[in-house]
Amino acid sequence: MKLKRSSGILLHPTSLPGTPGIGTIGKEAYRFVDWLADAGQSLWQVLPLGPTGYGDSPYASFSTFAGNPLLIDLDGLVDSGILQKKDIIPPEYIKASGPIDYGSVVWWKMPLLREAAKRFLAEGGSPDFQDFIKTHAAWLDNYALFMDIKEHYDAKARDERLSGKLWNNYWPTELATFQRKAVQEWASGHQDGIACQKAIQYFFFTQWKALKAYANGKGISIIGDIPIFVAADSADVWANQKFFQLKADGTPKVVAGVPPDYFSATGQLWGNPLYDWHEMKKDGYAWWTSRIKSMLDLVDFIRVDHFRGFEAYWAIPAGEPTAIHGEWVKGPDHDFFTAIRKNLGELPILAEDLGLITDGVKRLRDDFDLPGMKVLQFAFDANEAGKDGFTNPFLPHMYGEHSIVYTGTHDNDTMQGWLDNATPAELAIIRDYLGGAVPDASLVDELLRTALMSVAVFAIFPLQDIYRLGSEARMNKPSTLGANWSWRMGEGLLEQSRAAWLKKYSRLYARNMP
């Protein structure tokens, strides 16, 4: 895949300011696109766009195909005549600034969206809506069914004061195991609720595609994100159980994670069901082909999270308390990407090749000409210093052209936060690398500039790093629950001096050139 030397910003729409409770894909998103253009940038990277569940993680979605209803802009529904201005006045506990309180946003916003869907449907919908239903039927029908059933049984669980129940251990067996007769009976008896789910998805897709068209018209490409694994609590697993390593009752046999390493003595237990790659191969990986094709309808490039799992994945027996007692199992490797490329052509895929990367993973990445990732925060480890110089692959002088440099990702601390916690030895290495006595206040800017001047074809920075924000602006701290995914920028953050700085150095280092 031939890429043009470019740079851009990582920012999830939830972090946009100025709308009640949570950032949306409305006017503030357009204002951000304008800021990107003013800053001379040509890339906007987002996190997965699917509907989020427990823990609020965009990497644990109810569907890998669907859009997150919380991102729908209510003002846009008012402009379309579906809602009235008085309908969307938020209660006092829903704030337009500060961290996202997902529980409160869901409690307030989802009933509004259901009401909007009912009004839209009562007025006959629209021809575009009928086309949307037909075009997306392969995933939309099952998603709408899943969410309708889920909302019913989740409400029952709350009434009975139960929690932590998934479809595979709480729904009636005939529904949980996707028995055709039971599913069809539910569908025929709950047509209104299912139609509302489809209408809400129509709202999201209509708004997102308008935003994408606006961004593309400004010369800005959007980088989306696909997690390799999908959530257990998802329509993807429920409606496609033969494609996953599940027991007869729908519960997993083995689950995903990563083994113990330098960073964690017990590894990471993610808990996602693992694919049955042999079963998926029988139809040429059609589900995955549909998944990638659907995402490419929403974005211009796809970052594939945990790319190494296609070469081999860590399989942990279900029920294990940690990731220690897993084993490496061979993945579909080259066969998978050969099939996907045969169906879809050249793959605009960016490989998240962090972690334990073997020669096999490198061959898979390189044989399909997929750019890998470099994270600048991983570069300045004093333990990597050798008497013959520094050969840490994350240092800019070690990059190949076909790579993507980040100061940090959504899982890292902000660059300023990381520097604030760096050891004296690390700070000394950084200053030596940057050429001498760089003042503390200039370190972030100099590191950004170093990334921009590197040979990496893409340079992408979290917006927090452009504004030198500290740890209070961190997006996610892996393996923790609480305040993750909740950061929102201040309304006055997108000022022009930083846009001018970014434009100056992007042009100086030949990025985003016409």
Could you give the 3-state DSSP secondary structure of residue 96? coil
Q: How far are the Cα atoms of 16, 29, 67, 94, 111 from residue 100, in angstroms, in the given order?
A: 11, 17, 18, 9, 18
- Residue type at 403 in one-letter notation: S
Other CB atoms within 10 Å distance of the CB of residue 95: 14
**Structure-token pair, residue 236:** 């993807």
- Residue 180: exposed, middle, or buried by beta-carbon count in 10 A (0-12, 13-18, 19+)? exposed
Beta strands in 448-513 (DSSP E): 458-462
Helix then strand count (H, E) for the chain reads 19, 14
Catalytic residue among 305, 353, 426, 465: 305
Beta strands in 244-401 (DSSP E): 254-258, 268-273, 301-305, 312-317, 327-330, 349-351, 372-375, 385-386, 389-390
Catalytic residue among 73, 233, 352, 465: 352
**Structure-token pair, residue 118:** 């009912």
User: Which of the 8 DSSP states describes residue 89?
Assistant: P
**Structure-token pair, residue 384:** 């990597």
Question: For the sheet containing 372-375, what is the strand order?
Answer: 349-351, 301-305, 221-227, 43-45, 6-10, 458-462, 403-406, 372-375
Paired residues of 491 in beta bridges: none
Catalytic residue among 34, 411, 445, 446: 411
User: Catalytic site residue 411?
Assistant: yes
Angle at which helix 102-122 crosses helix 191-217, to 10 degrees, equals 100
Position of tokens 């290495």? 429
**Structure-token pair, residue 490:** 């201040």
User: Catalytic site residue 352?
Assistant: yes
User: Catalytic site residue 305?
Assistant: yes
Nearest to 8 by CA among 223, 297, 212, 214: 223
Q: How far is CA 215 from the centre of its chain?
A: 19
Position of tokens 């979605």? 61
Using DSSP bridges, classify how beta strands 312-317 and 327-330 pair: parallel, antiparallel or unpaired. Answer: antiparallel
State residue 332 phi and psi, 5-degree precision: -75, -20
Residues labelled catalytic = 305, 352, 411
